[in-house]
Amino acid sequence: MSQTATGSDHAGPAPAASRASDELKAPLYVAWQVTNECNLACLHCIEESGPGKAFADELTKEQVFDILEQIVDQDVPYLSFSGGEPMVHPLFFEMVAYVCERGVRLKVETNGHYLSAENCARLKRLGVKAVQVSLDGASRETFNRMRVRGDFDRTVEGIRNLRRAGVSIEINYSPTKFNAHEIGAAVDLAHELGSDSFYTGRTMYTGNAVKTWRNLTPSEAQYETLFATLHQKSEEYRGCMRIQVHELGLLEELRYRLRHPAALLIVLPNGLVKLINALPFVCGDLRRQSLGQIWSNFQRAWKDPRVSEFVDALARDHRMTSILHKWVYL
Amino acid sequence: MQLAKYVKFREEKFGGVLFDTLTEKVYTLNHAAAAVVREVRAGRDVSQIAARLKDSFQDPAGAIERDVQALIGELQRKGLMKDTQA
């Protein structure tokens, strides 16, 4: 899984202007990391996913479909499957079919290595809303350096297969010291490949990035140039491709979320539910609690003083994000 | 008229929400607006909707048809609703 400033690949539903999320009867968006297994071992992976990295306690088939049934019953309008690499999950296509047939809008977030022509046609037939592919670079050199075991050409071919099948495409781009200069070319490439959206933001100090930070993180000067280029490209592609940039730093994002929690649940491969990817707090366990119970817990958990204390501590030491995987149960 | 295919509607205690899954934006609706969306989903046009809502909502100024038209126009401008023929 890639990362943006929100700590995930997805922007998440913005809190409605006049209503708080605690007035909603259920989440509007469930972001489900279906497995921690991945065919790649990316330098910046927020989840420390990789080959052989599936959790020992990932959900059984019965548990998976019980949760999907609850998502449908609770009328959750929007769902994403990510990982790890979601397409390596043995139940992936069954899960996609289950939710799409029941009217849930589904986004798949993938590294693009399993987007064969056949799989793309299948995703189109099943009716996925969009497939988001991580493409961190405009060249083989930078992409393959960042996405260990990954292959730029295979990813690009996968995106082309999506286009041929008529599936809506979104591109996610994580900036680093060695690919930041390619941002303009990457936006152009995304457009050429037929992408509808391009997402990017600041890379976060967590997961694999903790170990690789010194060689990975762009300088502030690089970020400035990158954001300036993105603003220019946003104008250039206005009306053709949405360019969504999370310029806020993590701290600003979390402070905003403390006041306005998004109506979004993050489900981990073992059924634990996190408040937000960029915090270590867990507000429920779908193996033992219903989605409804966890939604109530979610509202309460955001008001727990430990959450705001953690954000305050993060203001003093940005390296606190290195412990996001040491879960704290609220 | 109909909701755009990427827009999902859900009823809530306060009325309802429209979720634009394309932009991931959420729009909240009060009871009257939610009722209009419900009627649109049932395939009714502006005058049919206004006639039906007069039974449920007070309309002393006789403005309900104009209000329905204004709401639908706004939803169309935001790309949340389309003409059925479109």
* A8 pLDDT more than 50: no
CATH number at residue A271: 3.20.20.70
More confident residue, B83 or A7: B83
Q: For residue A10, which residues of chain B lie inside 8 Å, CB to CB? A: 24
Sheet strand arrangement including A328-329: A242-246, A197-201, A169-173, A130-134, A105-110, A78-82, A29-33, A264-267, A272-274, A281-285, A328-329
Residue A133 belongs to domain spanning: 25-329
Which of B19, B29, B30 to probe by mutation at the A interface, max A CB count within 10 Å? B19
Amino acid at A95: M
The one-letter amino acid code at B37 reads: V
| Rounded distance between C-alpha atoms, residue A189 and residue A181, angstroms | 14
- Range with the lowest mean pLDDT among A28-37, A93-102, B52-61? B52-61
CB contacts of B6 in chain A (<8 Å) are 105, 129
Residues of chain B contacting A, Cβ within 8 Å: 6, 8, 10, 12-14, 17, 19, 21-28
Phi, psi of A83 (to 5 degrees): -150, -140
Are A15 and B26 within 8 A, CB to CB?
yes
A7: in domain: no
pLDDT at A319: 81
Q: How far is the alpha carbon of A305 from chain B, nearest alpha carbon, in Å?
A: 28
Smallest Cβ distance to A18: which of B6, B19, B28? B28
- Do A104 and A79 form a contact (C-beta atoms < 8 A)? yes
Q: How many domains is chain A partitioned into structurally?
A: 1
For residue range A155-214, what is the model confidence (pLDDT) as tens digits? 999 999 999 999 999 999 999 999 999 999 999 999 999 999 999 998 888 888 888 888
Q: pLDDT band for A247, please (50, 70, 90 cuts).
A: confident
Total domain count for chain B?
1
- What does DSSP say about strands A281-285 and A272-274: parallel, antiparallel, or unpaired? antiparallel
The helix-helix angle for B31-41 and B64-77 (nearest 10°) equals 70
Domain that holds residue B78: 2-82
Would you state the pLDDT for residue A1?
Answer: 52
Tell me what pLDDT residue A125 has. 98
- Concatenate the DSSP letters of all residues of A166-235 into one string: T--EEEEE---TTTGGGHHHHHHHHHHTT-SEEEEE---S-TTHHHHHHHHPPPHHHHHHHHHHHHHHHH
Pick among B10, B24, B28, B30 to test the A interface (most A CBs inside 10 A): B24
Nearest residue to A170 via CA among A144, A152, A191: A191
* Nearest Cα residue to A297 out of A321, A288, A314, A193: A288
Note whether A10 contacts B24, CB cutoff 8 Å.
Answer: yes
Q: B17: which chain A residues are within 8 Å (Cβ-Cβ)?
A: 16, 19, 24, 28
Determine the pLDDT at residue A26.
95
* Closest residue in B to A103 (Cα–Cα): B8
**Mean predicted lDDT score pLDDT of chain B:** 90
Q: What is the mean pLDDT of chain A?
A: 91
Which amino acid is it at A180? Answer: A
End-to-end CA distance of chain A: 25
Q: Is residue A103 part of a domain?
A: yes
pLDDT digits (tens, 9 = 90+) for A251-291: 888 898 999 899 999 999 999 999 998 889 999 999 999 99
Q: Hey, what are A206's tokens?
A: 């967590």
Helices vs. strands in chain A: H and E counts, helices first: 11, 11
Does residue B72 carry a pLDDT above 90?
A: yes
Of B8, B13, B22, the CB nearest to A77: B8
Tell me whether residue A5 is in a domain: no
Residue A150, preceding bond cis, omega within 30 degrees? Answer: no
Average pLDDT over residues A122-128: 98
CB count in 10 Å sphere of residue A309: 10
CB contact under 8 A, A75 and B10: yes
How many other C-beta atoms lie within 10 A of the C-beta of residue A257? 22
Contact across the interface for A242 and B23, Cβ inside 8 Å: yes
Residue at A4 is within a domain:
no
Q: Which of A15, A23, A77 sits opposite B21 (nearest CB)?
A: A77
- Please give the pLDDT value at position B85: 60
> Which of A6, A8, A22, A24 best probes binding to B when mutated, by most B CB atoms within 10 angstroms?
A24
Amino acid code (one letter) for A315: A
What is the identity of the amino acid at A99? Answer: V
Model pLDDT, residue A282 = 96
Alpha-carbon gap: A15 to the closest alpha carbon of chain B (Å): 7
Spell out which chain A residues touch chain B, with contact meaning CB-CB distance below 8 angstroms. 10-19, 23-26, 28-29, 75, 77-78, 105, 107, 129, 196, 242, 263
Contacts of A25 in chain B (CB under 8 A): 10, 12-13
CB A291 within 8 A of CB A263: no
pLDDT digits (tens, 9 = 90+) for A9-19: 333 444 444 46
Report the alpha-carbon distance of residue A219 to residue A177 in Å, rounded. 7
Q: How far is residue A84's CA from residue A89's CA, in Å, rounded to a whole number?
A: 9
> What amino acid is encoded at B29 in this protein?
L
Closest Cβ opposite residue A77 in set B14, B19, B25: B19
Q: What is the least distance, in Å, from the CA of A317 to any CA of chain B?
A: 32
Answer whether residue A102 is part of any domain.
yes
Q: What's the rounded mean pLDDT across residues A125-146?
A: 95
**Prediction pTM value:** 0.90
pLDDT digits (tens, 9 = 90+) for A294-330: 999 999 999 999 999 999 998 898 888 788 778 989 9
Contact B19 A28 (CB under 8 A): yes
**What's the CA gap between A273 and A269, in Å, rounded?**
9
Is residue A259 packed enough to be buried (19+ CB in 10 Å), middle (13-18) or exposed (0-12)? exposed
Q: Residue B9 pLDDT more than 60?
A: yes
Residue A219 confidence class, pLDDT cut points 50, 70, 90:
very high
Say if the Cβ atoms of A13 and B8 lie within 8 Å.
no
ipTM over 0.95 threshold? no
Q: Residue B55 is part of a domain; what is its CATH number? A: 1.10.10
Decide: A187 and A234 in contact? Cβ < 8 Å: no
Cα distances from A168 to residues A165, A220, A242, B55, in angstroms, run: 9, 33, 12, 42
Chains A and B form CB pairs within 8 A to the count of 52
Mean pLDDT lowest among A160-164, A227-231, A239-243, A248-252? A248-252
